Amino acid sequence: MTTIQNISITGIGSFLPEKKLTNSDLERMVDTSDEWISKRTGIKERRIVESGTASSDLAVKASLIALEDANISPSELDLIITSTITPDYFFPSTSCCVQEKIGAVNAGAFDLLAACAGFVYALSVAYGFISAGIMNNVLVIGSECLSKITDFTDRSSCILFGDGAGAAVVQKSPGAGESLGFVLGADGSQSELLILPGGGSKIPISQQVIDERLHYMKIRGTEVFKIATNTLVNLFNETVKKCGIELDDIDLVILHQSNLRIIKAVMKKVGMSMDKVFVNIDKYGNTSSASVPIALDEAKREGRLKKGDLVMLAAIGGGFTWSSTVLRW
């Protein structure tokens, strides 16, 4: 076990757009039903940004709440890390957009792309920078406008995704959020199972890309379900081993909110009660890298995080990438 001491999460915040897209709304858009979506995914509604809203706009809202919660000003930040698969631009980074908008004049800024696993990836980078003595105050963000890359003519994928942002302030100080260790992993051989094919350097944007709808996410759901479930089960076991604890020691589990069936299958296979899991996928759908910090913020506000609790954060996403940590609250 390698406990990262005297580093804590001093502030958390999240922001969701007001506009809701319900299963009933989707019934009028594609050949689907509320019953089918609810049974297959656990999702009832998701939030969708208005036209003209970017990931940085959501990130700013969540970040200002987190900074207020931490009782520090933007000018005190040393670094901003944003995890996103829906950046405002290829460049500059979304973190630079956030840096300018919140007035974090003394902060460096960069983005990190690890899809749904990205927030915990970014959190590990923040803890590493602070542990090494390079930084003291780091803002970690997960922000997504997935509706911008969702094909709303594809009934198998458009039911899954929503928009939102969550943020955490990580500081060099004793307090809640001491990490018992991080696990990061990847398997690039499975990358085509969940991918946005068009728009990058391999398949640059063109009229053909648009005509073939390659500028939208593509997902092979059945295969993703199997890999995600098995990988998360292995991740649970690897995480508790690395952190020097037992599964029974964990008080609260915050999993990436991808699919309620995946969450239930994982918890059943590892022998843990669903009572230990925080779930909000019914309200927001899959918000990729934003889902873990949004859930962490809601868990705190609902009183689910108690002093001394061991809280596990875990996620798997496109790449494939996976990440986890156990925090002592």
**Catalytic pick from 116, 145, 158, 243?**
116
137 is catalytic: no
Predicted confidence at residue 2, as pLDDT, reads: 62
Is the bond preceding residue 320 a cis peptide, omega within 30 degrees?
Answer: yes
Query: Given pLDDT bands bounded at 50, 70 and 90, which one contains residue 6?
Result: confident
Task: Please check the confidence at residue 285 and state whether its pLDDT lies above 60.
Answer: yes
Q: How far apart are CA 124 and CA 284, in angstroms?
A: 25
**Catalytic pick from 23, 137, 259, 286?**
286
State the DSSP H helix or E strand holding residue 226, giving kind and residue range, or none if neither.
Answer: helix 221-243
Task: Please check the confidence at residue 228 and state whether its pLDDT lies above 60.
Answer: yes
Q: Tell me if 226 sits within 8 A of 320, measured CB to CB.
A: no
- Please report the domains of the chain, with CATH numbers, ordered by start residue: 7-177 (3.40.47.10), 180-328 (3.40.47.10)
Q: In this structure, are strands 194-195 and 178-186 parallel, antiparallel, or unpaired?
A: unpaired
State the DSSP H helix or E strand holding residue 96, giving kind and residue range, or none if neither.
Answer: helix 94-102
6 is catalytic: no
Q: Tell me if 54 sits within 8 A of 87, measured CB to CB.
A: no
pTM of the predicted protein model: 0.97
256 is catalytic: yes
Q: How far apart are CA 78 and CA 172, in angstroms?
A: 11
Predicted confidence at residue 78, as pLDDT, reads: 98
Predicted confidence at residue 173, as pLDDT, reads: 86
Task: Please check the confidence at residue 1 and state whether its pLDDT lies above 70.
Answer: no
Q: How far apart are CA 143 and CA 121, in angstroms?
A: 14
pLDDT per residue over 137-184, tens digit each?
Answer: 999 999 999 999 999 999 999 999 999 999 999 999 888 888 999 999
